[in-house]
Structures are given as C-alpha cells and as structure tokens.
A and B are shown apart, each in its own frame.
Chain A
Amino acid sequence: MASILEVSHVSKFFGGLAANSDVSFSVEEGAILGLIGPNGAGKTTLFNCITGFYPPSRGEVRFSGRRMNGLTPDRVCKLGMARTWQKVRPLAKMTVLDNVMVGALIHTNRLSVASAIAMEQLRYVGMDGRAPHLAGGLPIGERKKLEVARVLATRPRILLLDEVMGGLNPAESEEIIQLILEIKSRGITQIVIEHDMKAIMRISDRIVVLNSGEKLTEGLPREIGADERVITAYLGQAFDGH
C-alpha cells in the first residue's frame, strides 16, 4: 500500500527547546497509526506541525505527495486532513447540528445540503437525538463524539485524533474504539494519540513512540509492547536495588 502521509525529519523548536526533533514516519493509506509517548513527549506539537498550526522548524510533511509546509490549517483541512483537539473545542453557543454543519459547509454553500450531511454524521456517531441542543451543555463523552462528527463532516481522507478517549469511562471509551474501527472500515486513514495502552494496542496497525520530542521507536503493536525502551520511557529506569 502507498503511504498517504510522510513526515520527514520534522523538528519544532520553541526558543531553545526542541519539542520535536528529527521525527520521521509514514502512514499507509487506510491504516491506523498509534502515536504514543509519555506526557510532554511532543505528540500534540507534532499534530500541530502536521496540520498547519505550527510551521515545522525543520523537515517536511507530505500529504499524498504534496508538500504541506507553510499551508494554513484551513487549507490543510480543505485538502482532506482533519484533526480533533485534546481539549475539546465545541462551538459552545451553537447547537450540536450547527457545530457539525460548520464542518460540512467546507464543501457546499447551501445550508440545506450542509444540514443533511451533518445529520448523517450525527447519526453515524449516535448523536442525532442531540441535534437541537447547545454544544456547550454536553457531557464530556458526547463532546468528544461531537468533535469526531464535526471533522467527519469535512470528509477527510486522513483524520488525526488527539486523545479522543481522554477522560472517558470504559463504556464510553469502548464506543469510541468501535467508532474508530468503523471509520477505518470507511477507508479513512487515522493517526491516533492515546494514553490507554490496551486501546491503542487493539486498534493500531502500527505504533510510533515519541519520547522527549524524538522518535524512540516504531513497529507493530506487539513489537512495541515487548520493547524494553518503551517500557523504560513510560515507567522509568528499573530500580536496581541495593
């Protein structure tokens, strides 16, 4: 399979601090790539570099062969790459339907068309019953699903999900896992940042591990699960005793 996204030697500096340094990986079309690493490893910064929120200081991002450096987030989204936010960003004083319509309006100028697309996406994530409610009043689980419905309405080819399971209870997480797998079955490529190891092992085709801004390793889920360096990065150096 051809790779849809190629990240080559991407570095991002904030002053003297390297939030990402020399990160490279690629994602195959239709696959799910898990992106893991301890807090502060630079996962979200990497998302920001890929989606145009930060220009990478070095390196380049190619999306289906096209160089993405320097494109603004709205252009990135129009080209078919969409992202969700770790800290959800509902358009609080708009209804759930309106939130998703904003995403759908990227392809149409007509509200009726956008509304139909939006309802379809809301049904898909199981939130059509919430359509007339204000987004600001939703509980966290539904906010996360709303984020997903909203980006799906932009009809992305690749979706970057930033901790969509964060803060959810096991039942809600399971719903999201099923949703991610369904999105995969639609042929949409996904990069998933997640802290829940069990979940990430289950859904990912490949996993990239970041630590202190650098790529620690990359491989199949079972390889990552057995990798000493990954365990060390997460749990710290084994205590040697006396």
Chain B
Amino acid sequence: MRASSPRGLALVPLLALCAIAAVLVALPLTIDNPYALHVMILLFLTVVQGESWNVLGGYTGQYSVGHAAYFGLGAYVTLILLQSRQVPPWWGVWAAILLAVVVAIVIGSITFRLRGPYFVLASIAVAEIFRLVALNWGSMTSGAEGILVSDIPPLQVAGRTVTDFTSKVPFYYAGFALAVTTIVVNWGVKNSKLGYYFQAIREDQDAAHSLGIALPVYKNIALGISAFFTAWSGAFYGLYVGFIDPGTVLSVEVSVQFVLICIIGGIGTIAGPVLGALLLVPLSEALRANLLSDLLFKLGVVDEGTPTGIFLKDNLAHAHALIYGILVVLVILFMPDGVLGFARKLLARRRGQAPAAAPSAAKDSA
C-alpha cells in the first residue's frame, strides 16, 4: 500500500484490466475447444480460492490450513440441497455460503485465541473434523461414495431459458464473474479501514490491540469474508465437476492448495493469487497430461526408448505432488515474497534504484 495512492488505479493499468476483461468475456465466443475452456474455468476457480484465502492469510496474517472445511461445506450443502431437496443451485449456494460463514465465525471465535503455529494446527484439525463427519454421516452425505450431480435444472429468467448447463460456457461465465467479484472485494478490503486493521494485526497483534483494534472481531470479519468466497468456490467446483466426495473437497490437500496459490504468487497482494493460479493450473494440467515427459523427449534430454525414458513416462504424471512440493520449496527458498515480490525486486534492481519499499530493511526487522 503506497501512501500516495491509497485509492484509485492509474489510468493505464485500468485500461489494461478492461482490455483483459473484454478478451476474457469474448473468449468462449471464439474458442469452442472444451479443454481450453476447462483450463480457463480451473483458472478462475483457483483465482477465487487464492484471493479468498488471501483476505485471512495474506492481509490478516492468520495462516489457515483448513480452508477445505469451508470449501467442502459450500460444495456439500449446495449439492445435497440440489440432489435430495431439488433446490436449484443458484438458491442453494446462498444457504451454503450463509452456513459456511456462520460456522466460520463459531470456529474463529474459538481458534483465534490461538496464535501462530497453534492456530495453524487448530485450523487443520477443524478441517479434519469436517472430513470425518462427511465420511461417516452417510445418510446425509453418502459417505465415501460421494455425491453425483444428476442434472442441474435449466436456469430460466422470466420464462426464458438462459442456459441448461449442458456445455462449459455457463460455467465459464459463472467462474469469470466469481473471480472478478472476489478480486474487486479484495481490492475494496485492501483499500479500506478493514485492510489497514487486517494488516496491522498481521504485523503485530499486540501493537494492533493497543491501538484500539478488537482482535477477535476483526479476525472474524476477515475469516467471514474468506469463508464466504471459499464456500462459493466450493459450490462452484461441485456443480462444475459434478461429483464430490470427502477426499476431493475436504482433504488436507485441498487446504494446502489454498495456501500454495498465495505462497507461490505472493501473499498479501491482489495480483499474487492471480499469478499463483496462472502458474499452478497450467503446471498441474501439464503434469496430468504427461506433457513434461513429452517435453523432455522432444528436447532430447532423455531418449524415449531408454529405461530412464520409460520410467519417466510411466511416473512423471503421478509425480504431481512431488513436483508441486519441490516447486514450493524452491519458491520459499529463493522467492520469500512469492513470484510477484521476486519480479518486483528484479524490476527495481534493473532500474538501478533502491526499491521504495526497501525489502532489505523489511527483512532486518522480520
């Protein structure tokens, strides 16, 4: 947050943002490759996940590794209402969000008494409770079988069918709208009293407390906003993929994913999670599609016929988590402020000036 411009974007970046938005709106009209749309939808979803974690973890400094709880809650409530009560998802999602926010504030009121690593551990434990409940409460959640979306009723406005959800296009636009909303809310939070209070809490809880900031209140507001969008993204995920089970929406991996998007992109910035999504989604897709071993073969690094080549071809696709892990370690070691912070530092160095936000000085006090 630069003192000189707490509000208002400069004209050029604003125009650039509008241009990007226009391209994204027009994209499904020109591209009908379902896989491309699929990747874009995953991108939107990941941006929403990252930005919503960012409000709590990035600005407020409360590292939750339990966001799967709210993600899963959003997905489960929406899908249960749809499948067993025939509630259309565009209504059901509000019930899911409301419940997630209420649950979040109850959990927050208990766990925010803890600080630092203890809060992290508590957040993991809470998410595990949710996973175990979903796994064992078979009559409500179908347990380990999961919930399959049979069909989503067509969305009708004033008697006219807007969409029947048979293609990816409605999900594309829903995801896009959700991503834009989350980014706008993040921007609004950052440039308001809330943003100042959240960051003060992140920097020093006791100092913040002594300056008149009611810690539990503001931490819960941050968690509430975060859970709101997390539940929304969960509902979106469940409806889009059409199937959820405790492993896919409530596992620790999901919680870690939320954190990773921000750590890799840059914690506590608006662009960070977007950048994180732009890096993680293509990487994960490339690993899944075994593009990495193909690339190695094409570059001639390894020959496809050799035992090493066969080994790589068989195993690289499964090495998803391993490569993810290595990436995170590299980022943490060499780019402690994420890719965004790293890029800013490089840019400042290239301009041959000490960055205004003197990172070396910031490091001293850390």
**A residues at B contact (CB < 8 Å):** 51, 53, 72-75, 77-78, 82-83, 85, 89-98, 101-103, 105-106, 109-111, 114-115, 131-134, 136-137, 150-151, 154
Contacts and interface: CB of A to CB of B under 8 A. Distances in A.
A132 B2 contact: yes
Contacts of A102: 196-197, 200, 208, 211, 213
5 contacts: A91-B208, A93-B202, A95-B3, A98-B196, A132-B4
A159 to B, nearest CB: 12
Contacts of A136: 361-362, 364-366
B210 interface: yes
A72 B211 contact: no
B1 A98 contact: yes
B209 interface: yes
Contacts of B356: 132
B344 interface: no
A53 B1 contact: no
Contacts of B357: 134
B211 A103 contact: yes
B208 to A, nearest CB: 7
Contacts of A74: 209-215
Contacts of A137: 358, 361-362, 364-365
Contact of A91 (B203, B212, B366): B203
B206 A53 contact: yes
B200 A77 contact: no
Nearest to B191: A111
Contacts, number: 115
A98 B208 contact: no
Interface string B1-40: 1111011000000000000000000000000000000000
Nearest to B362: A136
Given A136-B366, A137-B358, A137-B364, A95 B211 contact: no
A111 B4 contact: no
B1 A95 contact: yes
A102 to B, nearest CB: 5
A97 B2 CA distance: 9
Contacts of A114: 193, 196
Interface string B189-205: 00111001101101110
B155 interface: no
A123 B202 CA distance: 27
Given A77-B211, A101-B196, 20 more contacts: A74-B211, A89-B204, A89-B207, A91-B203, A92-B203, A92-B362, A92-B366, A93-B203, A102-B196, A102-B197, A102-B200, A105-B197, A111-B6, A111-B193, A114-B196, A133-B358, A136-B364, A137-B365, A150-B211, A154-B212
Contact of B210 (A82, A101, A134): A82
A91 B193 contact: no
B204 A91 contact: yes
Q: Which of B191, B362, B364 has the largest count of A CB atoms less than 10 A from its CB?
A: B362
Nearest to A118: B3
Nearest to A107: B212
A66 B148 CA distance: 61
Contacts of B210: 51, 53, 73-74, 77, 82-83, 85, 151
A82 B209 CA distance: 11
A98 B358 contact: no
Given A105-B197, A131-B3, A94 B203 contact: yes
A132 B211 contact: no
Contacts of A98: 1, 3, 196, 199
Nearest to A115: B6
Contacts of B209: 53, 72-74
B199 A91 contact: yes
Contacts of B365: 90, 92, 136-137
A85 B361 CA distance: 21
Contacts of A90: 203-204, 207, 365
Nearest to A131: B3
Contact of A77 (B4, B199, B212, B364): B212
A109 B3 contact: no
A121 to B, nearest CB: 13
A89 B196 contact: no
A105 B193 contact: yes
Ordered nearest first, which 6 A-B pairs have the shortest CB separation?
Answer: A137-B361, A91-B203, A89-B207, A136-B365, A77-B212, A106-B212
